[in-house]
Every structure is written in structure tokens, then in C-alpha cells.
Amino acid sequence: MKKKRVVVCGEKWVAEQCLEFLDNREDTEICAIVAAPKDWQADLISFGAKRRIKVFVGNINNYYDELAHLQPDFIFSIQYRPLLKSDILNLPSSGCINLHFGLLPKYGGCYPVAWAILNGEKHAGATLHYMVEKFDEGDIIAQTSVPIKEETTARELFNSMSEAAAKLFSDSYLALLEDTVKTYAQDISRKLYYGNDSIDFNRDRVIDWSRTGDEIQRRICAFTFDPFQQPLTSLLLPDEKRLQVTVTRSRLHSNGTTKHTENTGHITEVTDSGRLLVTTGNSDLIEIGLLNNQKLL
């Protein structure tokens, strides 16, 4: 069987795992990698250099002539940000395939991890799909899902989605090679798409304690991405002084019909284990376990 020639453009651990998988196959040749200039979780540039694979850095659309010369069968986009233009999409003989962190047609576009938590979803996941000129609208090859619990943070969800996505890719690959995949079109009427400006992390990570307990709990989890980001807030101390802090490791305590007279964002209690209880806009309590990234003892 003639080896399939593939190009991989991507970032992060999940892209590196997919590259490892492809590199170990005798039926596949990685003819090029298109890597991001900076990658906080993986080093795809070094990955290619160590294996003497061609590596291009930056936007894949700038390398049409070089990639056309390689005559790839597939181009795989794995956690890759730039939109592939039509000439690149038409280049591989077997198509361009994207591994997207979202259960399409919902959660297309940007920040699918944060939005799934903010919207109170019980599951998130990854989709392997063919690419078309519009972002995340191509026919679906396969999907996988992972649970979201009440206390699941964005970093935890990102990690579990990365593992599930890497497995989805490897499990689907043979069918792609043998051209036996059964794809299905997306129901675009159910499309949920978030653009690049849908979240401002500096602004939106600030906790507003006048919101309901559910909303605050989801927001703390959605903007907790250790070690890079924690939610920021102001807490009201018993002496009426305000404390500017980052908070994480939270848990919701629903009070039902019980009402508090304290101001929202007021620390009402320190538990025996040293965790803080803070009032919310609907009188629920949020229990905080980390303050300024330090355990509360």
C-alpha cells in the first residue's frame, strides 16, 4: 500500500499526540508540519526537526507553493487558529480535516471550553470534520464527549477534551485512509458560533457577586485556567474593608428560600477547614478553597 502523505498544522499537546500517532504508522508519511511560532504546551518545531520533517512556521496560507509541491493526500488541522483559504482547502487529494474542540454544530468558532462551562452544559467534546470555506461547517466524520461537573474548571475540561480528541483522531484514522468513513452534514439551524471578540478575558474574569450562585460558580470555573489565569474579584471583609483577590476551587451552596442580609460579595463565614463562604445576588453561597492561588488553611 502506498503511503499516504499528510500535512499537519496545529498547536498544543493534542497536535503533538496526533503527530506521534502518525509518525509511528508504516502507512503514513508526514511530509510537513505547520507550527505556531509560540506554543505553551508543545514544541512541534522541535518535533519535526528531530525527525527531519519539513517545518513551516506561522500561517499555512503563506506556504501554498511549498505545500503544493509536496502533493499531500490529507491536511489535518489540529487546534490550529488561522482559517484555511480555498486554495489550501483544494490542495490535498483526500481533503482537509479539522479536529475541533466543540460538539458541532454547537460551539463552533472560539473559546468552546469556556463557553460550554458558562452556558451550563453537562457535556463538551471534540469533532472531527471535513473543512469548508466557512469556519466549522463541514461534514462531520466523528465526535466524542466528556462530562462537565459543577466544579470542573476550564483547564480540567481542556485537558480531558485533549485526551478524548487525540483518541478520536487515532480511532478514526484507518477509516479515513481506507475511505470508508460515513460522514453526515451538520444541521446548521442548530449552529452556535462564538467569534474571537465574544470573550474579553481581562474583563470577563472579574466576578460580579450580584449574579446568581449558579452564574458565579460557572464563571469562576470558566475563567480558571491554571497556571495562566484565575478569576479576579473584590471581597467584603467583616470589618467592611474590601480585598482584591483571585479566587478558584469554588463550590456552590444553594440556600433555597433562605435570604441573607449581608451585602453580596461579603465573607459570611470561615469554615473549620479554612474555606471562605461568600454571599451571591440570590443569597446562595460560594465556598472558596483558593485565594490568590494559595490554599486556605
Q: Give the span between the Cα atoms of 70 and 65, in whole angstroms.
A: 9
DSSP 30-62: EEEEEE-S--SS--HHHHHHHTT--EEES-GGG
Domain boundary among 143, 171, 194: 194
Q: Which residues pair with 10 in a beta bridge?
A: 35, 78
pLDDT tens, per residue, the chain with 297 residues = 789 999 999 999 999 999 999 999 999 999 999 999 999 999 999 999 999 999 999 999 999 999 999 999 999 999 999 999 999 999 999 999 999 999 999 999 999 999 999 999 999 999 999 999 998 999 999 999 999 999 999 999 999 999 999 999 999 999 999 999 999 999 999 999 999 999 999 999 999 999 999 999 999 999 999 999 999 998 877 777 788 899 988 999 876 545 554 578 888 887 777 678 899 999 899 999 877 877 654
* CATH code for the domain of 227: 3.10.25.10
Considering its fold, how many domains does the chain have in total?
A: 2
- Shared domain for 183 and 234, answered yes or no, is no
pTM over 0.85: yes
Question: In this predicted model, what pLDDT tens digit does every residue of 39-71 receive, in sequence order?
Answer: 999 999 999 999 999 999 999 999 999 999 999
**Would you state the pLDDT for residue 262?**
56
Q: Give the span between the Cα atoms of 126 and 112, in whole angstroms.
A: 10
- Shared domain for 228 and 160, answered yes or no, is no
CB-based burial, 39-48: b 16+ in 10 Å, e otherwise: beebebbebb
- Shared domain for 213 and 257, answered yes or no, is yes
- Shared domain for 182 and 45, answered yes or no, is yes
Domain that holds residue 38: 4-194
CA dihedral (286, 291, 293, 295) positive or negative: negative
DSSP state of 266: B
- Shared domain for 43 and 184, answered yes or no, is yes
- Shared domain for 122 and 212, answered yes or no, is no
SS3 content of the chain, % helix, strand, coil (to 5): 30, 30, 45
- Shared domain for 30 and 165, answered yes or no, is yes
- How close are the terminal C-alpha atoms of the chain, in Å? 62
Phi, psi of 171 (to 5 degrees): -70, -25
Contact in structure between 280 and 209 (CB atoms under 8 Å) = yes
